[in-house]
Homo-oligomer: A and B are copies of this chain.
Amino acid sequence: MANDLSLNKEQILDAAEQALKRYGPDKTSVVDVARALQVSHGTLYRHFASKAALREAVTERWLRRSIAEPLAQATGLPQGGSAAERLRLWLDTLIAAKRAHAAEDPELFAMYAAVTMEAAEMIDAHIDGLILQMASIIEDGITAGELRPGRPETIARAIFIATSRFHHPAHAREWNAERTDRDYDSVWELILAGLALPTA
């Protein structure tokens, strides 16, 4: 279809994602993707030097489109509501997106879990972006006198890590356990007690 000149990164990523879904991450090669796009594999190698680079790029786009961008909207929108409510909604949205992906797209989710362990830099950048989103909510809460004073980014990072059990892909197999929702409520209650200004 596309000739070498008109080929852009999004088209390659679309084709790569399709191939990964169809053949599975282990069996998909850069050559398969080149074939699907009807370009030489040399052309494709100029964009992605290896299968690992291709998997990382597909994961990076998925994290941006399905996690970071929807969450950024969730962060901005409901300007009503307390900071605690906004934070809980933010975490709920993150956790729901991860669970949906794990359930609906198990092969790509397994790839994302593997990339999470391998592509440390890309994942760190993604997480830093998420933490800034939470930090802005926390900052609002501190300014409004609702939350305890502190460094918003440090607090946001602590919350992100303390809830890993519910959104880190290494724990996906535990998400279906019956008590997961209760556990999430208990952890949230503990976090909230640490965040809120004593109201006495």
Contacts and interface: CB of A to CB of B under 8 A. Distances in A.
Interface stretch (A10-18, A41-49, A75-83, A165-173): A165-173
Nearest to A151: B186
Contacts of A66: none
A51 to B, nearest CB: 20
A17 B163 CA distance: 34
Interface of A (DSSP majority class): helix
Given A191-B194, A198-B198, A186 B171 contact: no
Interface string A161-187: 111110010110100010000010011
> Which size bracket describes the interface of A in this complex?
20 to 34
Interface stretch (A27-35, A93-101, A104-112, A152-160): A152-160
A121 to B, nearest CB: 12
B183 A190 contact: no
Given A165-B164, A171-B164, A198-B198, A190 B159 contact: yes
A161 B170 contact: no
A88 interface: no
Given A191-B194, A192-B194, A157 B186 contact: yes
A189 interface: yes
12 contacts: A120-B177, A158-B186, A159-B190, A161-B186, A162-B162, A162-B165, A164-B171, A170-B170, A193-B193, A194-B194, A198-B198, A198-B200
